[in-house]
Structure 1
Amino acid sequence: MSGITDEIGTAEVTPGVRIPLIGLGTWPLMDEDATAAVVQAINNGYRHIDTAENYRNEAAVREGIRRSGIDRADLFLTTKFNTRWHSRSGVRDAFGEAVKRLGTDHLDLFLVHWPNPQQGRFVEACEGLQDLVDNGSIRAWGVSNFKPAHLRLVQDAGLAVPLNQIQLDPEHGQAGQLAYHRGHGILTGAYSPLGRNGGFLNHPAVSSPARELGKTGAQIALRWHVQHGRVAVPKSADSHRQRENLDVFSFALTQQQMSAIDALETGAPPRLDSDTYFH
């Protein structure tokens, strides 16, 4: 394995705020497992940690950050809040609870976890997030699992959505969703970036460049994400795999290789439908 580059790739979420393109996903790690994974990841060079209220591990993430000894200013911390907070005042309360659990005075990125359109208050939640940016409590805001129809309603309220984190891997490419993001300047975040079972990692579109470049299939898939300009947050508690997942900036895929991985798209929808699923 080639060495991890000194400076991992970043993307601009909003003017002046850059996010590392590879972060540590922490679901479904809990308690000491989550804490140990965070300490290990930070020691391995990660500077972006992704968590959520619903993961029930924010306190464990806090302990991992504390044990690592990292300066808070050197870490990009993302978390998400639940549907119960979907109002402008509710988002302020959600922020207060999140920073308490995480042991920090600010967040780098705060996301609406699910739109829950049946409740009909996700636009208010986004307005509350913009309030938090305006008063300096958070550096940037975004959403998660929002379909174009949901994003359009937020934009109709006069808000530009900086980032949308969605389930995304070579077999669940969500082409229409990505086209909407590109057309509206929305940065794409990918959760479950290596899929749920990783079967596509053995496909020749992935295994062939892995063999040619001396990389793992997971590294090829993550390079595909970042070469498309997306933020990927793979979960791993294994130190060796953490280092491999971070080492995707010392090589590049050809356009032909990228297109072959693009072609793995099956048209399958995300595992959960954000028109009906929420928490």
Structure 2
Amino acid sequence: MSSHAYTSIKEASVLPVVKQIELHPYFQQVDSRAFHQSKKIITQAWSPLGAGQGSMDDPLLSELAHTHQRSTGQIVLRYLVQLGALPLPKSRHAGRQQDNLTIFDFELSNEEMERVSNLSKEDGRLFDQHPESFSDL
């Protein structure tokens, strides 16, 4: 957890209800999510599918997609929902938008969740978008 988050809490009189962070299988931000949970803050995952890069070709996620007869994106979104996060996927394609909505009629097992959790990297950020230095303005 960065000191930035603690500083923000010290300076704010009201905690946020939702905190949006980069969150996907390669960058799971365990400490941030635990902190959010302890403060009853909803973790919203931006770039959960990595803008179509990164985890979409991962062999494990492809295996799980085949096992569950789903797309890799559905596996990633379902994983994040089961973690307790609120994924915020983006797509311009109607078929993928529909896929993104149909993740609530299956579950990943505890073993599958653990296997996906093992994909996390120390700094698995995509596109080098660290919130303390990145600006899209």
- TM-score between both structures, scaled by the size of structure 2: 0.85
Alignment partner of 1:254 is 2:122: no
The answer to whether the Cα contact below 8 Å between 2:74 and 2:100 also exists between their aligned partners in 1 is yes
- Report how far residue 226 of structure 1 moved: 0.9
3-state SS of the aligned residue for 2:50? coil
Structure 1 unaligned blocks of 5 or more: 1-146
- Report how far residue 148 of structure 1 moved: 4.4
Q: What's the counterpart of residue 274 of structure 1?
A: 131
Alignment partner of 1:158 is 2:34: no
- Report how far residue 215 of structure 1 moved: 0.4
Q: What's the counterpart of residue 168 of structure 1?
A: 23
| Structure having the higher Rg | 1
The structure 1 segments of at least 4 consecutive aligned residues displaced by more than 4 Å after TM superposition are none
- Report how far residue 197 of structure 1 moved: 4.3
Taking only aligned residues, the RMSD between alpha carbons, in angstroms, comes to: 1.9
Q: Which of 9, 13, 32 is 1:177 aligned to?
A: 32
- Aligned runs of 1:1-279 on 2, under 5 Å? 148-156=2-10, 157-268=12-123, 270=125, 271-278=128-135, 279=137
- Report how far residue 248 of structure 1 moved: 0.2
Matches of 1:276 and 1:199, distance apart in 2: 21
- 1:109-146 residue CA offsets vs partner (Å, 9 max, x unmatched): xxxxxxxxxxxxxxxxxxxxxxxxxxxxxxxxxxxxxx
| Cα separation, partners in 2 of 1:269 and 1:252, compared to 1, 3 Å | closer
- Report how far residue 151 of structure 1 moved: 2.9
Matches of 1:222 and 1:238, distance apart in 2: 16
Matches of 2:129 and 2:59, distance apart in 1: 28
Identity, % of aligned pairs? 29
Aligned residues: 133
- TM-score between both structures, scaled by the size of structure 1: 0.44
* Structure holding more strand per residue: 1
The answer to whether the Cα contact below 8 Å between 1:194 and 1:218 also exists between their aligned partners in 2 is yes
